[in-house]
Amino acid sequence: MSGNEWWRGAVFYQIYPRSFFDTNADGIGDIKGITQKLDYVASLGVDAVWISPFFKSPMKDFGYDVSDYRDIDPLFGTLADFDALLEKAHIRGLKIIIDLVLSHTSDQHPWFTDKTKKDWYVWADAGKDGDPPNNWVSVFGGSAWEWSAAHNQYYLHNFLKEQPDLNYHNQEVQNEALDICRFWLDRGVDGFRLDVVNFYFHDQKLRDNPPRDPALGSATQFEGDDPYSRQAHIHDKSQPENLAFIKRLRQLMDKYPGTMTVGEIGDDHPYERAAEYTSGNDHLNTCYNTHMMNGKQKEIAAATFREPVETFLKYPGESWPSWAFSNHDVVRAASRWHPDKGGFSYDPRLSKMLIALLVCLRGTVFLYQGEELGLPEAKLDFNDLQDPWGKHLWPEWQGRDGCRTPMPWKNAPHAGFSTGKPWLPVPEEHKALSVDHQDVDPNSVLSFTRKFLRWRKTQPDLMRGDIDFIDTGNDKILAFWRGKMLCAFNLGDKEKSLNIDGKELSLAPYGFLPDANG
161 Cβ contact partners less than 8 Å away, ≥ 6 residues apart: 107, 138, 146
- Is residue 237 a contact partner of residue 267, using CB atoms and an 8 Å limit? yes
User: What CA–CA distance (Å, rounded) separates 219 from 88?
Assistant: 40
387 is catalytic: no
Q: Which helix (H) or strand (E) holds 261?
A: strand 260-265
Catalytic one of 195, 276, 329, 372:
195
- Is residue 337 a contact partner of residue 294, using CB atoms and an 8 Å limit? no
User: What CA–CA distance (Å, rounded) separates 23 from 189?
Assistant: 23
User: What CA–CA distance (Å, rounded) separates 365 from 516?
Assistant: 18
Helix (H/G/I), strand (E/B), else coil: 182 = helix
Bridge partners for 143 per DSSP: 137
Own/partner contacts of 403-406, CB < 8 Å, gap of 24 or more, are 403/326, 403/327, 403/328, 403/329, 403/330, 403/331, 403/332, 403/368, 403/377, 403/378, 404/16, 404/18, 404/19, 404/62, 404/328, 405/19, 405/378, 405/380, 405/430, 406/19, 406/20, 406/22, 406/29
- Is residue 470 a contact partner of residue 479, using CB atoms and an 8 Å limit? yes
- Is residue 377 a contact partner of residue 344, using CB atoms and an 8 Å limit? yes
- Is residue 94 a contact partner of residue 47, using CB atoms and an 8 Å limit? yes
Catalytic one of 264, 268, 371, 377:
264
- Is residue 177 a contact partner of residue 66, using CB atoms and an 8 Å limit? no
310 is catalytic: no
- Is residue 48 a contact partner of residue 446, using CB atoms and an 8 Å limit? no
Q: Centre a 10 Å sphere on the Cβ of residue 210 and count the other Cβ atoms it contains.
A: 12
In the sheet that 512-513 helps form, which strands lie side by side, from edge to edge? 467-469, 477-482, 485-490, 512-513
Is the Cα dihedral 266, 267, 270, 272 positive or negative? negative
Q: Which of the residues are catalytic? A: 195, 264
